[in-house]
């Protein structure tokens, strides 16, 4: 009888190998388990707000990271190594987010972290990333993340609130009145929106009439809005996300403020349809990091975004393919691209473990990428000094029941001097 070759894997052995991987609670999307046994996987941790007020960003962030990991593994992994994904819910809560971050790093042994669209959690995570020698990709958009509250371990692959107001200043601000009133969510991002609005409006000769902050999840904006005299205010700056911007705009409309006053949203209304915003939506200007509707995209980007959206279950209008619930189209490309920044950095630097993190950082610092299936939002550059990406920025408005892109500002026109130089930090 012929002796069985030791190089062949029986069906029973294959089942044992697969069961062992599942039992260990590791997720190696799209990669054969036979190869998994041969090379140590690269472990990516996705820390996303899957519950709480920012859940819409989190659930689409999770889909994007998982979709990118699956695609990479289908194409052979990174430098021949499979990618494992671990996911934790940061729950729109700084304390819980920090606890889950430590779990991903210390217990799950993740090599890289794809963080949430939550500036407060990102800022709290920055010293932990440095302490644990773990590179962290952020898509919260408060300016300070890639300034005095970040460090060399933090990379941000999306623009920030300074880009929002630079784009608005280049397009519509000069056509608006000079008298402005600031309102924002009382946490890092809301304050960042207000600070940047004041900086830009004041430069254009604006006059600040008032400044108010409210908790995330505020239901009743009437006490805040009643302080606004529409005969003395031209523009309301609204530093709010998702349902908060809906409540503020709707209540401003019901009070009659929008007959004379325009609103500038600090972010695209993620998770909300034009119908949700109602008649108040016609009075809001938005500046976004990505384009919601495929039809509004430059022709050269459409094929990349169609494939990307197919992978994450999003349709051409920015909705969930199955439920038709509006998604986070203006943001969800960022965690997808963050996985590919990891891939780019590893391949360029020859990264093998966290001992090579400095080489990885140096590889990404100053890197330029072109629009592709890996980077569907478009061309962009990772600035060396502060690890801030410079990408295109849009200015949009609702017209005839649809979001219409009024302008697309290229990343190179949104330049501002770096506020820090992380390259001086010792790693």
Residue-wise pLDDT tens digits, 322-335: 999 999 999 999 99
Give the residues across from 207 on adjacent strands.
179
Return d(Cα 412, Cα 409) in angstroms, integer.
8
What's the burial of 359, exposed, middle or buried (CB within 10 Å: 0-12/13-18/19+)? middle
Name the stretches of the chain with pLDDT < 70. Answer: 1-28, 30-37
Q: How many Å apart are CA 424 and CA 427, to the nearest integer?
A: 9
CA contacts within 13 A on the Cβ side of 364: 31
pLDDT at 184: 95
Beta-carbon contacts of residue 280 (< 8 Å; ≥ 6 apart): 249, 250, 252, 253, 258, 263
Report residue 409 CA to chain centroid gap: 18
Order the strands of the 389-390 sheet from edge to edge: 368-369, 380-382, 389-390
Q: Looking at the structure, give the CATH architecture of the domain made up of residues 11-159+313-391.
A: 3-Layer(aba) Sandwich (3.40)
User: Which of 85, 37, 26, 94 lies closest to 338 in space, CA to CA?
Assistant: 85
Which regions of the chain carry the CATH code 3.40.50.2300?
Answer: 11-159+313-391, 162-288
> Rounded to the nearest 5 degrees, what angle is found at the Cα of 386, between the Cα atoms of 361 and 383?
75
Backbone phi and psi for residue 276, each to the nearest 5 degrees, phi listed first: -60, -40
Bridge-based pairing state of the strands 179-185 and 207-214: parallel
How far apart are the C-alpha atoms of 363 and 16, rounded to whole Å? 39
Which pLDDT score is estimated for 166? 93
Provide the CB-side half-sphere exposure for 305 (13 A, CA): 25
Q: For the CA atoms of the chain, what is the radius of gyration?
A: 23
Q: Of 334, 418, 426, whose CA–CA distance to 147 is shortest?
A: 418
- Residue-wise DSSP of 361-384: HHHHTT-EE-SSSSSTT--EEE-T
Q: What is the rounded (10 degree) CA torsion for 107, 108, 114, 115?
A: -30
Q: What is the pLDDT of residue 27?
A: 61
Q: Has domain 162-288 been given CATH number 3.40.50.620?
A: no
Distance CA 137, CA 112 (A): 8
Give the full edge-to-edge strand order of the sheet including 42-48: 83-89, 42-48, 112-114, 135-138, 154-156
Please give the helix or strand (H or E) that residue 264 lies within, else none.
strand 262-265
Cα(143)–Cα(391) distance, rounded to whole angstroms?
15
Cα–Cα distances in angstroms (integers) from residue 385 to residues 133, 339, 391, 416, in the given order: 19, 21, 16, 12
- What pLDDT shows up at residue 399? 86
Q: Helices in 283-332 by DSSP H: which ranges?
A: 299-312
The span from the CA of 403 to the CA of 317, in Å, is 10
| pLDDT value of position 12 | 42
Tokens of 399: 């017209």
User: What's the Cα-to-Cα distance from 324 to each of 94, 271, 426, rounded to whole Å?
Assistant: 30, 11, 48
């Amino acid at each position: 009888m012929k002796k069985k070759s030791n190089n062949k894997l029986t069906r029973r052995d294959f089942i044992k190998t697969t069961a062992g991987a599942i039992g260990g609670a590791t997720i190696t999307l799209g990669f054969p388990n036979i190869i998994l046994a041969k090379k140590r996987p690269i472990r990516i941790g996705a820390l996303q707000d899957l519950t709480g007020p920012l859940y819409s960003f989190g659930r689409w962030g999770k889909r994007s990271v998982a979709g990118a990991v699956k695609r990479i593994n289908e194409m052979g992994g990174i430098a021949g190594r499979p990618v494992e994904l671990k996911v934790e819910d940061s729950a729109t809560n700084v304390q819980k987010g920090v606890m889950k971050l430590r779990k991903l790093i210390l217990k799950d042994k993740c090599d890289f972290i794809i963080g949430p669209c939550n500036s407060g959690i990102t800022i709290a995570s920055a010293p932990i990333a440095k302490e644990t020698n773990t590179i962290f990709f952020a898509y919260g958009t408060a300016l300070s993340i890639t300034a005095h509250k970040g460090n060399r371990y933090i990379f941000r692959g999306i623009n920030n609130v300074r880009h929002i107001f630079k784009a608005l200043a280049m397009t519509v601000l000069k056509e608006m009145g000079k008298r402005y009133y600031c309102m924002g969510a009382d946490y890092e991002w809301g304050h960042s929106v207000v600070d940047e609005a004041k900086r830009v409006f004041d430069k254009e000769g604006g006059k600040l009439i008032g400044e108010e902050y409210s908790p995330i999840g505020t239901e009743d904006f009437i006490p805040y809005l009643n302080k606004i005299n529409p005969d003395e205010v031209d523009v309301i700056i609204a530093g709010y996300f998702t349902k908060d911007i809906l409540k503020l705009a709707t209540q401003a409309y019901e009070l009659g403020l929008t007959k004379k006053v325009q609103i500038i949203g600090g972010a695209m209304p993620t998770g909300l349809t034009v119908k949700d915003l109602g008649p108040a939506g016609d009075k809001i200007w938005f500046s976004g990091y990505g384009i919601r509707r495929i039809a509004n995209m430059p022709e050269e980007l459409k094929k990349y975004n169609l494939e990307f959206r197919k992978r994450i279950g999003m349709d051409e209008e920015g909705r969930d393919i199955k439920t038709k619930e509006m998604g986070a189209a203006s943001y969800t490309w960022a965690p997808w691209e963050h996985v590919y920044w990891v891939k780019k950095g590893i391949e360029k630097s020859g990264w093998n473990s966290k001992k090579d993190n400095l080489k990885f950082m140096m590889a990404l610092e100053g890197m330029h990428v072109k629009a592709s299936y890996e980077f569907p939002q478009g061309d962009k550059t990772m600035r060396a000094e502060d690890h801030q990406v410079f990408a295109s920025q849009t200015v949009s408005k609702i017209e005839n029941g649809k979001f219409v892109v009024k302008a697309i500002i290229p990343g190179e026109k949104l330049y501002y001097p770096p506020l820090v130089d992380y390259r001086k930090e010792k790693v």
